[in-house]
């Protein structure tokens, strides 16, 4: 039987499913986000985040105590540059991310962009969490302590809006745990001294074309409650040194992703960078 690699988010799905589910369907199922148009009875985003934080911390502590788990080595975690592999080796969605990051990097006067930022590669074992990465990331050119971490969705084949929100928040909680436990030997010195670990504000964003949100117009409650829970957690652990917020964005005027041929046009790509519009207000 193939070896099951231990991951930093081991058990996280089970935690989320205890808090968010409907009619036997878990949070990953698109139906759940459509049916739950308001906060479920007894739901507490604060309790959800606390359990997830405890789960990530527990996984990391277990790794330290287990002689069978070897700490892997990766110099790519939390890097602020795009991967350098050849164009033909990237998957289609990552190819799109790379194109957006490149165009934005050349033309955006406000943000530095990059894509596929690994968050936990090799933390627990050398082959664990290799695919866990932030799709797109930005750093403000006018405020170096301000970051954006972006979950890019081309369509719902890669997950519904509910799944996307939870996914970017869970990834952010890995960052949260590492920063909260800076005294632990969970990061090599060059990782924990990375600029992002001195961030004062991090925007967690879901970015998708307009049609991605069809049928999910009443899911704003989840965005609001997760944002408030993030604010509470950051205040308790970091005081005023860190804030994190969650926002869903649609690409205004772009009902679906343009064809590959049109994405070769720099003007079209620049429009994808600039045409952000909030999905949920208030």
Domain positions in the chain: 12-278
Residue of 96 and 224 predicted with greater confidence: 224
Mean per-residue pLDDT of the chain = 84
164-189 core/surface letters (b: 16 or more CB in 10 A; e: else): bbbbbbbbbbbbbbbbbbeeeebbee
**Residue 185's Cα: distance from chain center in Å?**
23
CA–CA distance from 135 to each of 46, 113, 154 (Å)?
A: 25, 11, 11
pLDDT at 8 over 90: no
The pTM assigned to this predicted structure is 0.90
> Within a 10 A sphere around the Cβ of 121, how many other Cβ atoms?
22
CA–CA distance from 259 to each of 168, 256, 265 (Å)?
A: 26, 9, 11
CA–CA distance from 10 to each of 52, 70, 128, 170, 269 (Å)?
A: 10, 16, 11, 12, 36
> Within a 10 A sphere around the Cβ of 92, how many other Cβ atoms?
9
pLDDT at 66: 57
Residue of 180 and 268 predicted with greater confidence: 180
Residue of 218 and 107 predicted with greater confidence: 218
What residues contact residue 215 under an 8 Å CB cut-off, 6+ apart? Answer: 34
Q: Which two tokens stand for residue 272?
A: 């994808």
pLDDT at 187 over 90: no
φ/ψ bin of 115: left (φ > 0), alpha (ψ from -120 to 50), beta (otherwise):
beta
pLDDT tens digits, 26-82:
777 778 778 788 888 889 999 999 999 999 999 888 765 554 545 555 678 898 999
């Amino acid at each position: 039987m193939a070896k099951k690699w231990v991951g930093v988010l081991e058990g996280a799905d089970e935690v989320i499913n205890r808090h968010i589910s409907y009619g036997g369907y878990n949070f990953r199922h698109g139906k759940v986000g459509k049916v739950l148009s308001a906060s479920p009875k007894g739901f507490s985003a604060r309790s959800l985040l606390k359990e997830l934080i405890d789960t990530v911390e527990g996984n990391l502590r277990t790794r330290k105590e287990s002689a069978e788990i070897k700490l892997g080595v990766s110099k790519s975690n939390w890097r602020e540059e795009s991967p350098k592999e050849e164009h033909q080796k990237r998957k289609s969605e990552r190819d799109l991310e790379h194109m957006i990051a490149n165009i934005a990097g050349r033309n955006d006067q406000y943000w530095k962009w990059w894509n596929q930022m690994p968050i936990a590669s090799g933390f627990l074992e050398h082959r664990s969490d290799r695919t866990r990465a932030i799709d797109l990331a930005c750093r403000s050119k006018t405020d170096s302590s301000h970051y954006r971490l972006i979950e890019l969705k081309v369509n719902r084949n890669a997950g519904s809006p509910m799944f996307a929100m939870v996914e970017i928040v869970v990834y952010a909680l890995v960052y949260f745990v590492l920063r909260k436990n800076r005294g632990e030997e969970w990061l090599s010195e060059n990782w924990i001294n990375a600029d992002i670990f001195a961030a004062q504000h991090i925007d967690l964003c879901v970015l998708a074309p307009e049609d991605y949100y069809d049928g999910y117009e009443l899911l704003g409650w989840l965005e609001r409650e997760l944002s408030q829970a993030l604010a509470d957690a950051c205040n308790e652990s970091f005081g005023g040194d860190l804030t994190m917020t969650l926002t869903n964005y649609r690409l205004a005027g772009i009902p679906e992703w343009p064809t590959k041929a049109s994405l070769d046009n720099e003007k079209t790509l620049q429009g994808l960078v600039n045409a952000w519009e909030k999905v949920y207000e208030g």
